[in-house]
Amino acid sequence: MSIKSDQWFSEIFGGTTAFSFLFSKKLYESKSHFQNIEVYETPALGRVLILDGCFMVTEADSFIYHEMLVHPAMATVGNAKKVLVIGGGDGGAVTEVVKYPDVESCTLCEIDPMVVEVCREFFPHVSSGLNDPRVTFVNEDGARFIQQFKGEFDVVLVDSTDPVGPGEVLFQEPFYLAVKESLRRGGAAVFQTESPLFMRDVFVKAVKGLDGTFGRDHAKPFLATIPSYPGALWSFTLCSEAFDPAHQKTRTLPPHLSTNLNYYNPEIHFSAFALPQFVRKMLAG
């Protein structure tokens, strides 16, 4: 079957690969102060959010990304009361956080308020957690916002875009240090750290930078398969001075969570930290 450009959208990565979807309708397009925002209706992926030409959210697989960003840290810390999400204007991470009744407050710091507005309108299921009374939305640069907090949060989740434009600062060591200092004793942070297949240099630099910031062997990368992202194999890095999430005792999910998740479970938690040989080699180099 040939691809007709007026019926397909393609994210081209590095000028050498592309991921495409057939769309039935473009639902929205506008340019904010920071980026171009598009929403498509598709037969295969449901609604799709595109920022500056890159996949950000699909109704078909966004649950994988959001559950794996949030639940490994929440399970590792246990009984987290105060959570900060940096980036994540789609609201998906917040929606996962507020599934925990012990959480007393969740702050979403997103630089682009238009992303929040668009996702509330077109992705109400993904962004539903933004309606929780425990959630506060702050429209600010996350790298600046985090600097005012010392020993404040149980969990910090960095749901950043790729390291370009306003997202570049979220992959730099001064930001890593600010996140570390914002955590309470026994807290944890998770950073999305890109694809080890297609973004090897960014992945290695991020993991090693986090390891240097949090202390040797206190930054633990883990993996998930997200079909709509470049390379599909995606990485996150969990950082904590108090816990080793790869070797903690298996936790049993609360009953309300075990029936309310679509990807994460205790077995997935531990298997995600088992890195393939090629990933181990690149981090050892």
**Mind telling me the catalytic residues?**
159
Task: Name 15's Cβ contacts closer than 8 Å, sequence gap at least 6.
Answer: none
Q: Measured between alpha carbons, how far is residue 25 from residues 32, 38, 175, 213 in Å?
A: 21, 11, 39, 45
Alpha-carbon distance of 137 to 129, in angstroms, equals 11
SS (H, E, C) 76-135: HHCCCCEEEEEECCCCHHHHHHCCCCCCCEEEEECCCHHHHHHHHHHCCCCCHHHHCCCE
Q: Measured between alpha carbons, how far is residue 191 from residues 11, 53, 210, 254 in Å?
A: 23, 22, 9, 25
